[in-house]
Amino acid sequence: MKRLIQGFDTFRRDVFPQQRELFKRLADKQNPHTLFITCADSRVMPEMIFSAQPGELFVYRNIGNIVPPYAQHVSGVVAAIEYAVKVLRVAHIVICGHSDCGAMKALMNPAALQDKPSVEAWLKHADVARYVVAEHGATMTDSETLRRLTEENVVGQLEHLRTLPSVAAAIATGSLNIHGWIYDIEHADISAFDANEGRFVKLDPQSDNVPDATPHARFSLRVAAANAA
């Protein structure tokens, strides 16, 4: 606990005075552009990775960066998504998995969950990844299986995300984009799911071409088409 309190003291003495105006502006409102859903793993630090300032990222973390499908499980993450979309009106939702994820390793070794019934029940929401990889991965090495599980979990959670009515409605009108990313802790790389290509590609910070997992908007296109007619 002493480590935490000393850290807070350092923040208050060294960091806060330099950003006093920012914190004053943020004292009674927030306007984050992105909801960032990632794993609770202590090595994944969204604000550090993206050099983000206070007020930029609405972050939600849980074991395995999981989003339960609508109507199956009312949970903190589902409530946070609804709030971010309906109230904060974020423009982006990122679901971000990571290398060496303990939750994904547990999917590979279900016996390890025997005396952890809550974790076991939670990870049922990641069964989609386990089943997809089991169908296609009989000859893969353990590290390849872990990588594919991590990818398929992100893809599966993106699909769950789209079952939430607030998300589906915002995507349909073109006001929300969704992204599936995987962060490599050791190499500081991010790979992003490209829905058009059906695969993960390395994110190139120098390129404006960001792979996207968002289905085409429909209502805004209809409006545009009607206006053009």
Interface with Zn ion (CB under 5 A): 39, 41, 101, 103
In whole angstroms, give the CA distance from residue 56 to residue 31: 7
Answer positive or negative: Cα dihedral of 130, 132, 138, 142.
negative
Please say if 39 is a catalytic residue.
yes
Spot the catalytic one: 98, 147, 148, 162.
Answer: 98
Please say if 96 is a catalytic residue.
no
Going along 124-168, which residue ranges are E strands?
none
Please say if 41 is a catalytic residue.
yes
Please say if 14 is a catalytic residue.
no
Spot the catalytic one: 12, 25, 43, 222.
Answer: 43
Q: Report the nearest approach of Zn ion to the CB of residue 44 (Å).
A: 7
Nearer to Zn ion, 62 or 177 (CB): 62
Nearer to Zn ion, 188 or 228 (CB): 188
The answer to whether 60 and 37 are in contact (CB under 8 A) is: yes
Give backbone dihedrals phi and psi of 136, rounded to 5 degrees, phi first.
-120, 0
Q: Report the nearest approach of Zn ion to the CB of residue 121 (Å).
A: 17
Count CB-CB contacts under 10 A for residue 220. Answer: 13
Please say if 101 is a catalytic residue.
yes
The answer to whether 208 and 165 are in contact (CB under 8 A) is: no
Nearer to Zn ion, 39 or 167 (CB): 39
Q: Report the nearest approach of Zn ion to the CB of residue 102 (Å).
A: 5
The answer to whether 173 and 219 are in contact (CB under 8 A) is: yes
Nearer to Zn ion, 18 or 42 (CB): 42
Q: Report the nearest approach of Zn ion to the CB of residue 199 (Å).
A: 21
Pairing label, strands 92-98, 177-184: parallel
Catalytic residues: 39, 41, 43, 98, 101
